[in-house]
Amino acid sequence: MQFANGEVARNCLEYNKLLKDQAIGESVNNQLVKSEYLSCDALAVLQPETDTLCPAAKIDRQSIGEALSTRLDLRSFPSSLFMKSNTEKRTLDALYPAHSLTSHDAATQLETGSWLFHMQTVAIADTNGNGIPDWVIWVTDEAKQGNYRSYFTLIIYDPTAAGRLAATPFPQHLRTRHQKPSM
């Protein structure tokens, strides 16, 4: 993985160290390689500072997938859908009521003839230390034709609270680990 300053990461340790201060290079190749480093993002989120893992048995996983499609504000993080959303239509189900939007288990997916947008909850942990389980989400955002591909990790703090959900992109999470995000 090449970073904007020219440095190269060859493993998770190098990747997470460089990511704290550097941006990933924006080449198409790097976006493809980024998908291979998603597990490194999750490992960094779940570092020893995160001392409370939440048992999956206590979480209604079906409601996670549904919440991602009905409550997550697409304007709270950069993606291909950011510019399509507005104050009235800011969730996946509001933007694509007639398209193939499926939510199951701890994931939601929008698939059209030309696009794939998939969000999968890969960890549930108290990442900000406030005693409330947070969700670690992997996002796949791909054009089926052409070369647009984006893979990234999001943190959703305190998702059990009522109302809209907002996501914090990783690695911004590293800089704001113990701050509650503003909505």
pLDDT in tens, 157-175: 999 888 999 999 987 655 4
- Please list the alpha-helical segments (H only) found in the chain: 12-19, 28-34, 38-45, 61-70, 92-95, 172-175
CA 148, 153, 158, 159 torsion-angle sign: positive
pLDDT of residue 94: 93
Read off the pLDDT of residues 48-104 as tens digits, 9 standing for 90 and up: 544 444 544 345 555 899 999 999 999 999 999 998 999 899 999 999 977 788 988
Give the alpha-carbon dihedral of 169, 175, 177, 180, to 10 degrees: -80
Cα distance between residue 77 and residue 128, in whole Å: 18
Cα distance between residue 155 and residue 137, in whole Å: 6
Stronger pLDDT, 150 or 16, i.e. the higher one: 150
Query: Measuring CA to CA, which residue among 138, 137, 131 is closest to residue 180?
Result: 131
Cα distance between residue 42 and residue 127, in whole Å: 11
129 φ/ψ angles, rounded to the nearest 5 degrees = 70, 20
Does 114 have pLDDT greater than 80? yes
pLDDT of residue 123: 81
pLDDT of residue 178: 42
Encoded amino acid at 149, one letter: R
Average pLDDT over residues 4-15: 84
pLDDT of residue 47: 63
76 φ/ψ angles, rounded to the nearest 5 degrees = -85, -5
pLDDT of residue 12: 76
Encoded amino acid at 183, one letter: M
Mean pLDDT of the chain: 82
Cα distance between residue 160 and residue 28, in whole Å: 36
Does 180 have pLDDT greater than 50? no
